[in-house]
Amino acid sequence: MRLALLGCGTVGSEVVRLLHEQSADLAARIGAPLEIAGIAVRRIGRDRGDLPVDPALFTTDPLGLIKRDDVDVVVEVVGGIEPARSWLVEALRAGKSVVTANKALLAEDGGALHDAAAEGGGDLYYEAAVAGAIPLLRPLRESLHGDRITRVTGIVNGTTNFILSAMDATGAGFAEALEEATELGYAEADPTADVEGFDAAAKAAILASLAFHSRVSAADVHREGITEVTAADVASAKAMGCTIKLLCIAARGADAAGRETVSVRVHPAMIPLTHPLASVGDAFNAVFVEAEAAGQLMFYGRGAGGAPTASAVLGDVVAVSRNRLAGVRAASESAYADLPVRPMGEALTRYHISLDVTDRPGVLAAVAGVFARHDVSIATVRQGPAGGGTAGRGEDADLVIVTHVAPDAALAATVEELRGLDIVRSVASVLRVEGEA
Ligand code: NDP
Ligand code: HSE
């Protein structure tokens, strides 16, 4: 089996190292030796340390490498939409098998890759694209195909999980925790894709597509990042026996007409400390899958890093190589259900709302009236003196309200109306609450 490796950075260099170190085992598992036919990079003269590979294999011509007749499998670990999409479509149409870690491309235009794979007859595998080393996509696309998945809830971005875990552990604000994440090498120099939720949204689209047999793209995902999460939010979550996580949530549900739909969203949310995802700390990832027959399943591990990601890439390389030797291909994309994506306003969730209100008779009734007008049911109300002290009645009071489940649009409209009340001095924080209380 001859591989074209596109990219030799954080992930690609570990793929090269593992291919070298495990060559005998990999050959035995596949039934044929795996050889690197060439490695496409951007800077041919870049210092690559003591990478165990012949320097003559490097090229700056990815397309030329892909088109070579002696290439069976193309491994793409470059990233980005173009030119990666053109390379992979070319490879797949030519009947080569492709392994990619490129979540951005799969979420943007995975359909183009699946169509090209169907046309060329090769395999398209992408286990590393979501949650790095965690074997998660194979269970979704194979093991659970006898079941009906109802919901996938995940922590799929290590950088933001590190930041939120640090805020929870030390009481630090977002900026301070981001600085620590950058110093320790978890956050990139430009952390936008992670902290604004773009990376998690791409992964959410891939998970939803597989779980619900429908094409879901990044544009279908409601996305909110963690930049607005404050130390006060984290403290408020703690007071409720919760912690705050950036969650990706993909769920089945019915729309107003009773049609089956999916909702896919990424946003910070409070979850109770008893929820299996609450204890996922540091930069770890975990995904909680609920299926009708299997019940609850939890996948946990390292979601990023050169070696963990290369582990997933190589697992795919072994699978597609075996298929090629056997003259078969894996089951093609399963998108038969073609479920529409429900707008965020129809997603069912709960809100935790923290208000600074005037402390006088009738305030609670006025606030409750706003919830009632929007058909939002209140689950709990906690009132204390402004600033969280213990003094008696003063000018202001802190009011913390947690709702029952309601459509997101009704909850958002409730908050909007609360902001306009003269007795509400400020809406200090609004966070969604997920998981059983
Ligand atoms: P890096 O930036 O470390 O490496 C990118 C590689 O691609 C480099 O070798 C670079 O060449 C090469 N490259 C860039 N542009 C071109 C081009 N136009 N032509 C040829 N080669 C090019 O990226 P990562 O290894 O971190 O990530 C690779 C992929 O894996 C991405 O899709 C990413 O999302 C995904 N991924 C990464 C994870 C991680 O932990 N890093 C985790 C999960 C997925 P040169 O070496 O010359 O600069
Ligand atoms: N930036 C990503 C993260 C890398 O923090 O999880 C893995 O996709």
**Annotated domain spans of the chain:** 2-133+306-326, 137-302, 347-433
**Fold observed for domain 137-302:** Dihydrodipicolinate Reductase; domain 2 (3.30.360)
Rounded percentage of the chain residues whose pLDDT exceeds 70: 98
- Of ligand 2's listed atoms, the one at least distance from the Cα of 203 is 8
Distance CA 186, CA 195 (A): 12
Nearest ligand to the C-alpha atom of residue 11 = 1
pLDDT band at 286 (very low <50, low <70, confident <90, very high): very high
- Of ligand 2's listed atoms, the one at least distance from the Cα of 162 is 5
Work out the mean pLDDT of the chain and round it to a whole number. 95
CATH number of 2-133+306-326: 3.40.50.720
Vertex 361, ends 355 and 366: CA angle to 5°? 55
HSE at residue 232, side-chain half, CA atoms within 13 A, is 13
What pLDDT, on a 0 to 100 scale, did the predictor assign at position 437?
Answer: 53
* pLDDT, tens digit (0-9, with 9 covering 90-100), for 183-229: 998 988 899 999 999 999 999 999 999 999 999 999 999 999 999 99
Nearest ligand to the C-alpha atom of residue 88 = 1
- Please say if the pLDDT value at position 436 is more than 90: no
Q: Is the CB of 86 under 6 A from ligand 1?
A: no
Which one is predicted more confidently, 90 or 359?
Answer: 90
* Centre of ligand 1 from the C-alpha of residue 332, in Å: 26
Which one is predicted more confidently, 161 or 435?
Answer: 161
* pLDDT, tens digit (0-9, with 9 covering 90-100), for 382-428: 988 766 655 555 688 999 999 999 999 999 999 999 999 999 999 98
Structure tokens at 392: 């008696």
What pLDDT, on a 0 to 100 scale, did the predictor assign at position 156?
Answer: 98
Rounded percentage of the chain residues whose pLDDT exceeds 90: 91
The answer as to CATH 3.40.50.2300 being correct for domain 347-433 is no
What pLDDT, on a 0 to 100 scale, did the predictor assign at position 390?
Answer: 52
Inter-CA distances, 382 with 237, 341, 353, 385, Å:
13, 36, 11, 10
- Of ligand 1's listed atoms, the one at least distance from the Cα of 102 is 32
Count the neighbouring beta carbons within 10 Å of the beta carbon of residue 290. 16
- What value does the mean pLDDT take over residues 172-188? 94
What pLDDT, on a 0 to 100 scale, did the predictor assign at position 105?
Answer: 98
- What value does the mean pLDDT take over residues 320-330? 97
Identify the residues whose C-beta falls under 6 Å from ligand 2: 132, 157-159, 194, 199, 303-304
203 is a catalytic site residue: yes
Query: Residue 311, SS3?
Result: helix
Element (H, E) at 149: strand 149-155
Nearest ligand to the C-alpha atom of residue 128 = 1
Q: Ligand 2, residues 77, 199, 285: which to mutate, most atoms within 8 A of Cβ?
A: 199
Report which protein residue has its CA nearest ligand 1's atom 6: 7
* Annotated catalytic residue within 96, 103, 203, 245: 203
- Of ligand 2's listed atoms, the one at least distance from the Cα of 160 is 5
What pLDDT, on a 0 to 100 scale, did the predictor assign at position 395?
Answer: 81
* pLDDT, tens digit (0-9, with 9 covering 90-100), for 35-87: 999 999 999 999 999 999 999 999 999 999 999 999 999 999 999 999 999 99
- What value does the mean pLDDT take over residues 143-160? 97
Distance CA 27, CA 314 (A): 12
What pLDDT, on a 0 to 100 scale, did the predictor assign at position 394?
Answer: 64
Report which protein residue has its CA nearest ligand 1's atom 21: 41
Answer whether 430's CB lies under 8 Å from 415's CB.
Answer: yes
* Centre of ligand 2 from the C-alpha of residue 304, in Å: 5
Report which protein residue has its CA nearest ligand 1's atom 18: 42
Q: Ligand 2, residues 130, 157, 192, 302: which to mutate, most atoms within 8 A of Cβ?
A: 157
Sheet with strand 97-100: strands edge to edge:
58-59, 35-40, 2-6, 73-76, 97-100, 124-125
Residue entry with tokens 């809100």: 351
